[in-house]
Amino acid sequence: MKALCWTGVGELAVETVPDPALLNDQDAIVRVTASSVCGSDLHLINGYVPAMRAGDIIGHEFVGEIVEVGAAVRRHRPGDRVVVCSIVGCGRCWQCRGDNWSLCENSNPNPAYTETLYGHPTAGILGYSHAMGGFAGSHAEYVRVPFADHGAFPVPNRLSDEEAVFASDAVPTGWMGADQGGVKEGDVVAVWGAGGVGQMAARASYLLGAERVAVIDQVPERLKLAASHCGAATIDYSQTDVDAALREFTGGRGPDVCIEAVGMEAHGTGPQYAYDRAKQALRMQTDRSVALREAIHACRKGGTVSILGVFGGVLDKFPLGAAMNKGLTLRMGQQHGQRYIPMLLERMAANEIETGYLATHPMPLTEGPRGYQMFEEKTDGCLRAVFLPQR
């Protein structure tokens, strides 16, 4: 089959690889019909996530049809159309039973990496480095899904592949940002990042009762989409003093909930950004956190900063003084997708959450490298490239 492989820092190639096989009784094999790029893939591609190996198939946000199931799979059968959570969860450990799926204790076959780096092993993630398990990803014609009864969900008929694909990651991650931020009736929410996750976090904030939502980015096309599809106010950080704009937006209080949907390769302006950029380029720091610093500074006293963007290592110049003295609550984590996906698919089918507009650039899998280049450089208004391996 054809698959999009990481071949080195900043390099991707479509290669011919063997088809996946059932390796465990709880596996399913899914014929991938749509697989989206994700901002967090850029961290892998650009060498900021450890333990990538040339030949690794990337991709973790996908929809498809089950073609084969292992002997112990009970909830699915060949022919089922499913969306699969990017996080692998066993469904039976203490963390999964507590609905904290990205903390699964049994789904990372390479626990030593993150156990050594973070103190404890994290869950496996499809197509997301050997540190997160080394699972082959979804930018391929077929993909193996471990613990399929717990990670695959039937897709409502009224959703197209290009809509449903985002229930795999962008929609539940965005929802979790608002949910773990404790967004409630009357809140004012600010979202850093108008990518797919940021757009979904803005929409989720409104659905959870926020009265005003502002989205911060510098890409005009993305800000326009946040305004037209999510009803958010927009702030272009390349043109505007974000802190001042948010004071004005919130009556001087600061946002009740600040959602960071950017991560370790944040862009910004001014000397702070130049400093971060230089240190990261020299590999003297692992993560650039301009957006997170800004969120902590802007958040109202006693507010919550909810971090969705992926960070991998150690932050430099983290404003703990502001967080401590303003009594902020910091919430963060990889998505607990299995907790939210069934509910979100219902909301998507009921048109409460619109996702089709995120797929600005559907294309064949063979154009994978070009799709990632467009996505990273944000050319032609690319919000998400979505690969269609069967076309």
Partner 1 sequence: MRIRTAAWGAAAAGAVAGTAAVLCNRGDHRARGTGDGGAEHGRWHVITVGMPRSELLPGGVLPPPLDRLGDGVEIRTADAPGGRGTEIAVRGLALPGAGQSLRRILGTSTDQRIRRTLRQFKQLTETGEVLHMAGQPEGHHKPGGLLVAVGDRRATKEGLL
Selected range binding partner 1 among 48-56, 188-196, 297-305, 326-334, rule: CB under 8 A? 48-56
Interaction of residue 147 with partner 1, rule CB under 8 A: yes
Q: Which one, 66 or 176, has the nearer CB to partner 1?
A: 66
Q: Please identify which residue in the block is written with the tokens 């305004």.
A: 227
**What x/- string results for residues 77 through 106 when contact with partner 1 is judged by CB under 8 A?**
-------------xxxxx--x-------xx
Residue 209: other Cβ atoms inside 10 A? 13
107 close to 88: Cβ distance less than 8 angstroms: yes
Residue of 183, 107, 203 whose CA lies nearest to 151: 107
Residue (of 255, 34, 334, 30) closest to 165 by Cα position: 34
Stretch that binds partner 1, among 3-11, 234-242, 277-285, 319-327 (CB under 8 A): 3-11
Under the binding rule (CB under 8 A), the answer on residue 293 touching partner 1 is no
| Cα separation, 241 vs 243, whole angstroms | 6
User: Which has the closest alpha carbon to 63: 82, 41, 87?
Assistant: 82
93 CA to centre of own chain: 24
Answer yes or no whether residue 274 interacts with partner 1 by CB under 8 A: no
- The span of 76-84, 112-120, 174-182, 281-289 binding partner 1 (CB under 8 A) equals 112-120
Is 220 a binding residue for partner 1 by CB under 8 A? The answer is no
Which is it for the CA torsion 210, 211, 217, 222, positive or negative?
A: positive
Beta bridge partners of 81: 65
- Number of Cβ within a 10 Å radius of residue 182: 15
Contact between 107 and partner 1 by CB under 8 A: the answer reads yes
Query: Contact region for partner 1 (CB under 8 A) — 118-126, 181-189, 198-206, 316-324?
Result: 118-126
CB of 146 to partner 1, least distance (A): 6
- Which of 10, 47, 55, 302 binds partner 1 (CB under 8 A)? It is 55
- Tell me which residue of 143, 160, 163 sits closest to 152, measured CA to CA: 143
- Taking the least distance from each CB to partner 1, the nearer of 5 and 178 is 5
Give me the sign of the Cα torsion angle 79, 83, 86, 87. negative
Among 10, 47, 53, 343, binds partner 1 (CB under 8 A): 53
Applying CB under 8 A, the residues found at the interface with partner 1 are 1, 3, 5, 7-8, 13, 15, 17-21, 23-26, 51-57, 72, 90-94, 97, 105-107, 109-113, 115-116, 119-121, 124, 130, 133-136, 140, 144, 146-147
